[in-house]
Amino acid sequence: MRRRLAILLAALAALPRLALAVELPVVARTLGNGLRVIVHEDHSAPVVSSYVFYHVGSRNEVRGATGISHLFEHMMFNGGKKFGPGMFDDLIEGNGGSTNGYTTRDYTAYLNNFPREALPVVLDLESDRMANLAITKQNLEQERGIVSEERRLRIDNEVWGVMDEALYLHAFDQSSYRWNVIGFMSDIQHITLEQARSYFQTYYAPNNATLVLAGDVDPAAAFRLVERDFGAIPRRRPPLPVDPSEPPQDGERRVVVRKNAELPAVLIGYHAPRALDADRAPLDVAERLLSGGESARLYQDLVRSHEVATAVEANNTWGIDPDLFWIYAQARPKKTAAALEARIDAVMEGLQKKRVPDDELAKAKSQLRSEYVSGLKTVSGKANKLGFFETVFGDYRGLFRLEDAWRAVTADDVQRVARTYLVPTHRTVVVLVPVPAPGRPAGDRGPRPGGVS
């Protein structure tokens, strides 16, 4: 059995050296008004995916108006000058497609998946709301109510949401990454119509956006349609740059969250570099060594060997600005948060002090590549990735450099970044202390609310 395992791991070790980097046929242009357009041609199915990435997220917000980026994600479905309220969804769905949007700290994206014949309709719809979004008091109040309820469900009344918000609020002092994308309730409630209109004029401009088309499209014909629908939208003054300054953290920070839950948990965030930093790739590999399935170090130690956790996860977050490398663990019944921390510390110490074996390093790289390739299986996945890299990395071609960066990571690199970033002085620890729900006697914890489990 051990011999077969050794042969398998040797084969995995060879994969990163033998595999060719993924390349996609892409044609990119920039219109006269600054709109960046990226087209990927794929005729494997008669479908198209469109994404519009606006280069604005919660990092562009200021105190007093947090959550306005996410609020606008909702506002953007309320119609424009040519297409009235409700027509966006009706026309997309009536043409056999689907539509959605999402907001992050770094950008806001709007996506549509549809049959190829609907491309002219989709571009007409997207250009209308970019140029002429209906920003009315009625629309603002309608979406304010929806977003406020979303805040209650996803943050205030959800264990993971409370822990995640507490982590970022305590890990960052000055960076606009510190507040949650959904914003503070007090800010959501007080965003004015004037603020909404000013925000739209500042950030929803063609020169602050990237349009990605992927699927059964002819690039030349697609560019003609894009020029027809978007070319006349005027360029606006570029937004002011974001100051990402954050004073260095020179000591551990701790916060306790008391919430209705069955089991204790911990969420630990270490300050990490931005996505474009050279150390991001070694931290990606470290993430997989720690949390790449049931054979990874954290699972083997906390769940299998010492049986202190029911679940454990790690993530190296990619951001335009420096973000966090976080670890989450949920305790088993009768185990404590302190026991979770002790085992996480032991695993991190092992990563820092002992050189990672070659076969384990190769497996982590193979997992990264597998996830990378699986994200490119659909035209929607490819459009999303191209837009993400154009927005966060500043160049869609960064997508094609990932494998080379991971392939170049050595065991020494992993040990170095673990010693540099994944240390107690650079971390913030959030401890979940379960408390009974109002009206329940102590010890009667009831069902665990939703969230990471």
Structural domains of the chain in order of their starting residue, each with its CATH number:
26-230 (3.30.830.10), 253-435 (3.30.830.10)
| 115 strand-pairing partners | 47
Task: Answer positive or negative: Cα dihedral of 57, 63, 65, 66.
Answer: positive
pLDDT of residue 23: 85
Instruction: Decide: residue 423, CB within 10 A, 0-12 exposed, 13-18 middle, 19+ buried.
Output: middle
What is the pLDDT tens value at each position of the chain, 453 positions in all?
333 333 333 333 333 333 446 789 999 999 999 999 999 999 999 999 999 999 999 999 999 999 999 999 999 999 999 999 899 999 999 999 999 999 999 999 999 999 999 999 999 999 999 999 999 999 999 999 999 999 999 999 999 999 999 999 999 999 999 999 999 999 999 999 999 999 999 999 999 999 999 999 999 999 999 999 999 999 999 999 999 999 999 999 999 999 999 999 999 999 999 999 999 999 999 999 999 999 999 999 999 999 999 999 999 999 999 999 999 999 999 999 999 999 999 999 999 999 999 999 999 999 999 999 999 999 999 999 999 999 999 999 999 999 999 999 999 999 999 999 999 999 999 999 999 877 554 333 333 333 322
Question: How many residues can be counted in the chain?
Answer: 453
Q: How far apart are CA 147 and CA 113, in angstroms?
A: 24
Residue type, 409: V
pLDDT of residue 21: 62
**Token output for 355:** 């050189």
Report residue 338: phi and psi, to 5°: -60, -40
Sheet (strand 26-30) strand order: 26-30, 36-41, 209-215, 47-54, 108-115, 98-103
| Contact in structure between 276 and 394 (CB atoms under 8 Å) | yes
The CA-atom distances, in angstroms, between 86 and each of 83, 140, 418 are 8, 15, 51
Q: How far apart are CA 432 and CA 386, in angstroms?
A: 37
Report residue 248: phi and psi, to 5°: -60, 145
pLDDT of residue 410: 98
As a 3-state breakdown, the chain gives helix, strand, coil percent values, each rounded to 5, of 50, 20, 35
pLDDT of residue 441: 41
pLDDT of residue 234: 98
pLDDT of residue 20: 47
Q: How far apart are CA 196 and CA 69, in angstroms?
A: 10
| Contact in structure between 79 and 135 (CB atoms under 8 Å) | no
Half-sphere exposure of residue 129, counting CA atoms within 13 Å on the CB side? 24
pLDDT of residue 188: 98
Query: Which residues, at least 6 apart from 64, have a Cβ–Cβ distance to it below 8 Å?
Result: 187, 190
Query: Which residues, at least 6 apart from 72, have a Cβ–Cβ distance to it below 8 Å?
Result: 108, 196, 199, 200, 204
**Token output for 220:** 């030349």
Residue 273: which of 242, 246, 241 has the closest Cα? 246
pTM for the predicted model, two decimal places: 0.91
**Token output for 244:** 């990402």
Query: Which residues, at least 6 apart from 393, have a Cβ–Cβ distance to it below 8 Å?
Result: 275, 276, 399
